[in-house]
Amino acid sequence: MPQEGGDVQGLGLLVQRAGPQPEEAGPLSEAEAASLGYHVSRTGSRLTLRAGYSSPLSYTVKEKGVHLEVVSATILYPLHGILLAIDTTVACNRNASKMDGSDLLWSALHVAPPLVRGMFVDGGMRFGVESVPLREQDIAERGYQLRLNDGLLELRVPFGAQGGRVKSGVEGGKYGRFMSVDLFFMRQWVDQVWPLTQLRTFSLLRTPLVPQTPVITNNTVPSEGRFSVALGSFHPDVSLWKVMAGVGGDLLRWNQSTNGSGEDQGAVTRLPHPNGSHSYRLDVPFSHANVIQEYIGGGYKKYSLPLTFTFEISPRGEVFYHRTTVESTVQEFTGQ
Task: Please write the tens of the pLDDT for every residue from 119-151.
Answer: 888 888 888 998 888 998 999 999 999 888 888
Band (55; pLDDT cuts 50, 70, 90): confident
Average per-residue pLDDT for the chain? 85
Do residues 182 and 104 share a domain? yes
- Give the Cβ contact number of residue 113 at 10 Å: 12
Task: Please write the tens of the pLDDT for every residue from 168-211.
Answer: 999 999 999 999 999 998 889 998 888 888 888 888 999 999 99
**Residues ≥6 apart with Cβ < 8 Å to 109:** 63, 64, 66, 68, 93, 151, 152, 153
Do residues 90 and 104 share a domain? no
Which of 77-86, 244-253, 324-333 bottoms out in mean pLDDT, i.e. has the lowest? 244-253
- Give the Cβ contact number of residue 137 at 10 Å: 8
- Give the Cβ contact number of residue 286 at 10 Å: 17
Do residues 235 and 284 share a domain? yes
For residues 252 and 154, give the distance between their C-alpha atoms in angstroms, rounded to a whole number: 49
* Contact between residue 61 and residue 95 where contact means Cβ atoms under 8 Å apart: no
Nearest to 261 by CA among 216, 311, 219: 219
Total number of domains constituting the chain: 3
Beta bridge partners of 313: 238, 318
Is 120 a domain residue?
A: yes
Amino acid 331 reads: Q
Task: Name the domain boundary from 187, 209, 231.
Answer: 209
Is 336 a domain residue?
A: no
Is 291 a domain residue?
A: yes
Q: What is the pLDDT of residue 105?
A: 94
Range of the domain at 149: 95-209
Do residues 77 and 12 share a domain? yes
Task: Name the domain boundary from 209, 233, 262.
Answer: 209
Task: Please write the tens of the pLDDT for every residue from 28-54.
Answer: 888 888 888 888 887 877 888 888 888
Q: Which has more pLDDT, 259 or 73?
A: 73
Do residues 67 and 138 share a domain? no
- Give the Cβ contact number of residue 193 at 10 Å: 11
Q: What is the pLDDT of residue 1?
A: 40
CATH of the domain at 272: 2.60.40
List, as one string, the DSSP characters of 95-122: PPPEEETTEEEEEEESS-TTT--SSEEE
Do residues 88 and 115 share a domain? no
Task: Name the domain boundary from 162, 194, 209.
Answer: 209
Q: What percent of the chain lies above the pLDDT cut of 90?
A: 35
Bridge-based pairing of strands 300-313 and 318-331 is antiparallel
